[in-house]
């Protein structure tokens, strides 16, 4: 095992620790770790990321179900368009993207570069969401009121973005659940994990038929991340996750800028 692999697996542990500490966001590091430390092809990395995100979110979702925090009706309404969109994106859209996208002078923008730059843009948007970290207004009415057209539209958009970049999209889902489904913040965060788990794992199924999956590596990487989650949950007894979220947001912002710079200057 070389130094890059060691750092890659340490990165897998950090992904889990961040998820355990702040309840989300850590999975956005999965693709950069897979691509730049473990030299996985970006298309394959986004597929692996869906599996890691799906399993990690499922662990968190099970804990939230036990606590009675998950709103299943909302999860189903949101997840159905999301998982149809993410599966379709992974099965048909991503394979259909041409290997050579366009040229800017002598610089050729390939499929891999395009995916990483789009991923970096998603990182920048997510980082702003973490840095602002605004508290949503509490919802006093416990009855969930659905805005079906907007929820379906949001589900499709989140599904396509998740399908392309392999990230969970919690920064898009949580505001949607608060604003469109009128869920209290605590329930929105808990319910979003179940939605992310369902759509990520179903999206990954779309890849199984298209890609050659290294199951030994993928299961090892995912297992280390899950261990990290439980370590992060333990550390959250001593460290306040909300204070870390803004700092992590700045780190994601820097990472996003670095990815754009690296891809455009390679």
Residue 98 banded pLDDT, cuts 50, 70, 90: very high
Handedness of CA 134, 137, 142, 147 (dihedral sign): negative
pLDDT over 70 percentage in the chain: 92
Q: Which two tokens stand for residue 15?
A: 């992904």
Adjacent-strand bridge partners of 103: 108
Dihedral sign for Cα atoms in the order 86, 88, 89, 95: positive
**Cβ neighbour number for residue 40 with a 10 Å cutoff:** 22
Give the list of residues 6+ apart from residue 125 with CB closer than 8 angstroms, or none. Answer: 171
Q: 84: burial class by Cβ within 10 Å (0-12, 13-18, 19+)?
A: middle
Segments making up each domain of the chain, as ranges: 3-265
- pLDDT at residue 208, as a whole number: 87
Instruction: Compute the distance between CA of residue 194 and CA of residue 183 in angstroms, rounded to an integer.
Output: 14
- What SS3 state is found at 99? coil
Instruction: Tally the C-alpha atoms within 13 A of residue 175's C-alpha that lie toward its C-beta.
Output: 12
Predicted local confidence at residue 125, as pLDDT: 86
Q: Which two tokens stand for residue 64?
A: 């939230």
Average pLDDT, the chain: 84
pLDDT, one tens digit per residue, over 9-28 is 999 999 888 887 776 666 78
What's residue 220's pLDDT?
96
Residue 257 pLDDT class (50, 70, 90 cuts) = very high
Per-residue model confidence as pLDDT tens digits over 125-155: 888 887 886 555 545 455 556 677 887 888 8
Classify burial at 176, counting beta carbons within 10 Å of its beta carbon; exposed 0-12, middle 13-18, buried 19 or more: buried
Q: By C-alpha distance, which of 140, 160, 240 is closest to 206?
A: 160
Mean pLDDT of 202-226: 91
Beta bridge partners of 110: 100
């Amino acid at each position: 095992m070389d130094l890059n692999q060691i750092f890659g697996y340490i990165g897998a542990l950090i992904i889990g620790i961040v998820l355990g500490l702040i309840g989300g966001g850590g999975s956005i590091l999965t693709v950069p770790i897979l691509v730049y430390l473990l030299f996985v092809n970006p298309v394959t990395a986004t597929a692996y990321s869906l599996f890691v995100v799906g399993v990690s979110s499922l662990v968190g979702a099970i804990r939230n179900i036990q606590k009675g925090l998950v709103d299943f009706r909302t999860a189903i309404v949101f997840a159905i368009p999301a998982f149809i969109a993410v599966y379709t994106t992974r099965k048909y859209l991503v394979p259909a993207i041409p290997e050579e996208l366009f040229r800017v002078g002598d610089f050729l923008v390939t499929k891999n570069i395009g995916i990483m730059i789009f991923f970096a843009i998603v990182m920048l948007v997510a980082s702003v969401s973490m840095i602002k970290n605004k508290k949503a207004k509490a919802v006093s009415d416990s009855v969930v009121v659905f805005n079906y057209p907007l929820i379906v539209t949001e589900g499709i958009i989140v599904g396509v973005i998740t399908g392309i970049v392999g990230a969970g999209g919690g920064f898009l889902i949580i505001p949607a659940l608060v604003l469109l489904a009128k869920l209290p913040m605590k329930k929105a965060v808990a319910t979003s994990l179940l939605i992310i788990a369902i759509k990520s794992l179903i999206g990954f199924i779309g890849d199984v038929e298209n890609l050659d999956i290294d199951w030994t590596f993928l299961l090892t990487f995912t297992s280390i991340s899950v261990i990290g989650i439980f370590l992060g949950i333990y550390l959250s007894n001593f460290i306040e996750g909300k204070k870390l979220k803004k700092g992590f947001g700045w780190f994601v912002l820097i990472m996003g800028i670095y990815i754009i710079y690296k891809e455009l200057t390679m």
